[in-house]
Chains A and B, each alone.
Chain A
Amino acid sequence: MMAAARVMDAALELLDRQLIDCDDRLAGNVDDVEIVIPDRWPDGASGELPVVTALLSGPGVLAERFGGSLGRGWSALHRRLHPDGALISIPIGQVRDIGSAIRLGLRSDQLASNRMEVWFRDHVVGKIPGAGHAAE
């Protein structure tokens, strides 16, 4: 049976939502959404609709959304820390479910927004005895 088309508002139902990876780990928020407008629009592409290609997540993306001096300072800092400019783009094909959280088909360690987590794991929390054990 064909499911009825689902209508949703992007800012309301995608933006700032929690991402959850395929292992049920919390994997950042949706900090922005990538929309691709058809090439020849508006003249040659009258029937074609723009497509959502990816969800974007990571502190650099969030910084750009802030705007103002805070946003500029933050995003400059981010570029210095990560000169490769890698922002995290999650292809829409990896999205498994859109609900009160957004479930992904990939693991959080594949995401660039996870780099800071890795740094704190290796340099802070991992150095404390007992970090790898479940609490008792």
Chain B
Amino acid sequence: MKKLFAVTLGILTAIGGFVDIGDIVANAAVGARYRWALAWVVVVGIIGIVLFAEMAGRVAAVSGRAVFDLIRERLGPRFALANLIGSFFVNLLTLTAEIAGVALALELATDVNYLLWLPVCALAVWLVIWRVKFETLEDVFGLLGLAMMVIAVTVWRAGPDWGSIFHEASHPTLPPGEGLPTYFYYAIALFGAAMTPYEVFFFSSGAIEEHWTRSDLFVNRANVYIGFPLGGLLSLALMSAAALFLNPVGITVEHLGQVALPTTLVLGRTGLAVLLVGFFAATFGAALETALSSGYTVAQYFGWQWGKFVRPLQAARFHTVVLAAVIVGAIIGLSSVDPIKVTEYSLIFSAVALPLTYFPILVVANDVGYMGDKVNSRLTNALGTVYLVIVVVAAAAAIPLMFATKAGA
């Protein structure tokens, strides 16, 4: 019974934990611009993150080694250092976007400018990491993140013609006046939103924080196979709400406030209140995950003690990196950069950095020396190889497309 509870909780937190500022912005922006013509990317992204996170979770549970630890073992210290610098930069960009996202959610609820909220949010993120137990923060923010479900309720209450949505999604066509490069640019942003490297750093390190062993592989599978796809449904709901309400009148999404308009129209002030709680929890949870991930990656590369399972004094270097990342993230956020633009760039750079983490995990998940009889099945390897190609193509195309389309302008 207790085990069942743990699994349920894990699934719920996976749903709530999947969606972050990147998903919110990218799905709403794409829905408003392309309706359902990019819905297939969400499906491709979800299958990818399921595959990737399941391997990373299994490797962590069986070998007791988290992702970046293995990256250095398999790629050697030089290449792994280049990888670390790249991943750390992308992670910092994402952390900045998430902290700004928390501040933007509070701005909508209070009419106080987000720049005033930003330092408060950064401090709160750090305090929670400093003082709150790993399991507690995962449960609290995961469960609160479920408030985002109100987006799905919005779409359902709007009573759309499901048949024609399905038709549009399965027969994607370019809207008039739109070019193919921009379409693929947004495809990569959406893919980056679903398959973000920090999710895997966090998931695999989290497995070790929670002391997973071989007997927890069931929990791993339940979280990944049920939690992430349901989280993906939330992404599709965000896209659909924008497609139904913002696209017909020609609104392009530039602010978090616009993402909330459909829910406010359909469900009134209660809907808005629940959604703002969802925005807050999803971005705050992701800010915690990215802040911790910056510490995880650096500490795992050098072999330092890391994690919240020991007291901060026993993982001094790890906590120093986390603190520094939060401070730098807050400073970048406080400079006059547009937080929504930071989010979009973080998604593109996530796609660029993805192969660097995906490839080593795919290799180690096949290594009998680490995994014993828990190596990848043939099916996982077949899918894993297909995704290796997808991930590499997306990474190679991301930057050229960014310049060719002036970042989707």
Contacts and interface: CB of A to CB of B under 8 A. Distances in A.
A132 B313 CA distance: 6
A101 B65 contact: yes
A100 B374 CA distance: 14
Interface in A71-122: 100-101, 108, 116-118, 120-121
Contact of A25 (B77, B80, B305): B305
A27 B303 contact: yes
A129 B130 CA distance: 10
Contact of B72 (A29, A59, A125, A134): A29
A28 B65 CA distance: 13
Contacts of A18: 65, 69, 303
A120 B65 CA distance: 24
Interface stretch (B212-220, B316-324, B395-403): B316-324
Contacts of B316: 117-118, 120-121, 124-126
Interface string B154-187: 0000000000000000000000000000000000
Interface stretch (B115-123, B131-139, B145-153, B285-293): B131-139
Contact of B304 (A26, A128, A133): A26
Interface of A is mostly: mixed
B312 A130 contact: yes
Most buried by A among B72, B77, B80: B77
Interface in A28-66: 28-29, 31, 57, 59, 62, 65-66
B89 interface: no
A27 B313 CA distance: 15
Contacts of B304: 26, 28, 117
B131 A135 contact: yes
Interface in B277-316: 299, 302-306, 308, 310-314, 316
Contacts of B69: 18
B360 to A, nearest CB: 12
B311 A134 contact: yes
Contacts of A25: 305, 310, 314
Given A117-B316, A125-B312, A135-B308, A130 B64 contact: no
B64 to A, nearest CB: 6
A120 B317 contact: yes
A124 to B, nearest CB: 5
Nearest to A57: B303
Contact of B317 (A13, A65, A116, A136): A116
A133 B311 contact: yes
Given A16-B76, A18-B69, A130-B312, A29 B302 contact: yes
Contact of B320 (A16, A120, A133): A120
B63 interface: yes
Contacts of B72: 16, 29
A32 to B, nearest CB: 10
Contacts of A128: 130, 312
Contacts of B305: 25-27, 108, 117
B65 to A, nearest CB: 5
Contacts of B130: 128, 130, 135
B78 interface: yes
Contacts of B303: 18-19, 26-29, 57
B64 A100 contact: yes
A19 to B, nearest CB: 6
Nearest to A28: B303
Nearest to B75: A16
A100 B370 contact: yes
Contact of A28 (B77, B132, B302, B308): B302
B73 interface: yes
Most buried by B among A59, A128, A131, A135: A135
B53 to A, nearest CB: 20
B369 interface: yes
A100 B60 CA distance: 11
B302 A125 contact: no
A112 to B, nearest CB: 14
Contact of B311 (A29, A31, A117, A131): A131
Given A100-B370, A135-B134, A136-B131, A16 B77 contact: yes
12 contacts: A16-B72, A16-B80, A17-B73, A25-B305, A26-B304, A26-B306, A28-B303, A29-B72, A66-B78, A100-B370, A128-B130, A135-B308
Interface of B: 63-65, 69, 72-73, 76-78, 80-81, 130-134, 136, 299, 302-306, 308, 310-314, 316-317, 319-320, 323, 369-370
